[in-house]
Structure 1
Amino acid sequence: MRYPLTSLYYLSVILISAVPLPWWFYSVGGIVSVSDSPFQVLVYFMGDRLLLSDVITFLLTGFRIYVIFVAIGYLLETMRGNPKIYSTMFWFPVLYVLDPVIIYVVFLFLPKLLGFPANYPLLIWGEETFTSSYMGNQIRAEVMSYPTIMYWAALASAVLYIPSRLEMRKNRKVMK
């Protein structure tokens, strides 16, 4: 096989895209919890899953299927000796670090819009305390945020992307 790293990259993309497990988990005092990935968003409020998260997950499932079929097609092309470049699954785990930043912005500005100041740390990895005051009362909530094993698998797959690109470049130069 001329492109083993590229083939391995596309196989890992197919597997990671097909597994319906979340990449990241958030919980605010157990009241709201979010498990998400680029292919699903599960939001629970006081233990009940929100219908909106089911609708979003339904739409993202279409994207999941698209990614799987593109990766299968590119894997077949790679096996035929004509590799293609598909970087979506490289960028997702790399840019997924922005997810906690987005949550930070929501928790920083949403309370201000509602009229009470909040103190929320920028990056939460593990468990932190969210504090605010409202009408003279102190509000505290334990916030949990952490990546799941699927995120680490996706990040490992993203690491394969770089050597696969180098492999393609090297084999194209040899053919010339």
Structure 2
Amino acid sequence: MRYPIALAQTILSLVVVAIPLYWWTYSFGGLLIIDSSPFQFTARLLGTTLGISYLVSAILEAYRAYLIIVLGRNTYLILRGIMVRSHALLTASLSYLAYPLVIYYVANYVIAIQHIPTNYPLILMGSGLMSINYGEVSMTMTITIMPHPIYWFALAVGLMAIPAYLEARWRGQSISKGNV
């Protein structure tokens, strides 16, 4: 076998893509709960799943099917001695580290438009308290942003693309980039 690291990375990527689990959960005081991964999405407001969740999940499931086909092809090619690399899982898992920042800035923007005084700390992982004052009403809710264990596994598998790339360079093969 010419590329064992690349083969392991591709097969493990295929496993991660095929597992139908959420990677992160965002909870805003239990009022709005968002479960997401690059392959599925659910948003629940007051316990009711929002209709947009079904459309977004359908699109993400199509992307999952596409990746399964491409990663299966890449596995076949690597087994035949042709180095093919894919950065899809690396890109997806690293971009998920930026999502808490995006949520923070979007929430601050939406709240600022409404001119509602709030205290919303930047939370990258874990929990924090958000205070909202509107007139004489004051509300405090817990904001929780937590990755699931499958996310850490996906990140580790994605990072395996780096030694797989170095393995191909060390062996002196020109590297053809996969479709993803």
Structure-1-length-normalised TM-score: 0.94
In structure 1, distance between residues paired with 2:173 and 2:18: 34
**What is residue 110 of structure 2 aligned with on the other side?**
110
Corresponding residue of 1:21: 21
Q: Is the 8 A contact 1:108 1:119 kept in 2?
A: no
Per-residue deviation, 1:86: 1.1
Cα distance in 2 between the residues matched to 1:124 and 1:130? 14
Q: Which amino acid aligns with 1:108?
A: N
CA–CA distance in structure 2, aligned partners of residues 31 and 173 of structure 1: 53
Deviation at 1:131, TM superposition (A): 1.1
Partner of 2:54: 54
CA offset at residue 117 of structure 1?
A: 2.6
Q: Is the 8 A contact 1:5 1:164 kept in 2?
A: yes
Structure 1 counterpart of 2:19, one-letter code: V
- Counterpart amino acid of 1:48? T
- Once residues 170 and 124 of structure 1 are traced to their aligned partners in structure 2, the CA distance between those partners, rounded to angstroms, is 37
Letter in 2 for 1:21: L
Say which SS state the counterpart of residue 21 (structure 1) adopts: coil
Q: Give the aligned partner of residue 162 of structure 1.
A: 162
Q: Which residue of 2 aligns with 1:141?
A: 141
- After TM superposition, where is structure 1 displaced by more than 6 Å over at least 4 residues in a row? none
The whole-number CA distance in structure 1 between the counterparts of 2:147 and 2:124 is 11
Aligned residue number for residue 94 of structure 1: 94
How far is the alpha carbon of 1:173 from its aligned partner? Answer: 5.6
Please state whether the residue corresponding to 2:139 is helix, strand or coil: strand
Higher helix share: 1
2:42 partner SS: strand
Using the alignment, how far apart are the partners of 2:169 and 2:123 within structure 1? Answer: 37
Instruction: Work out whether 1:8 is the aligned partner of 2:8.
Output: yes
Secondary structure of 2:172's counterpart equals: helix
User: Residue 100 of structure 2 aligns to which amino acid in structure 1?
Assistant: P
Please state if 1:122 is matched with 2:122.
yes
Q: Give the distance between the partners of 1:112 and 1:96, measured in 2 at CA.
A: 25
Bigger Cα displacement from structure 2, 28-37 vs 116-125: 116-125
Shift of 1:154: 0.5
Q: Percent identity?
A: 29
CA-atom RMSD, angstroms?
1.4
Whether contact under 8 Å (1:75, 1:83) holds in the other structure is no
Check the 8 A contact 1:33/1:43 in 2, yes or no.
Answer: yes
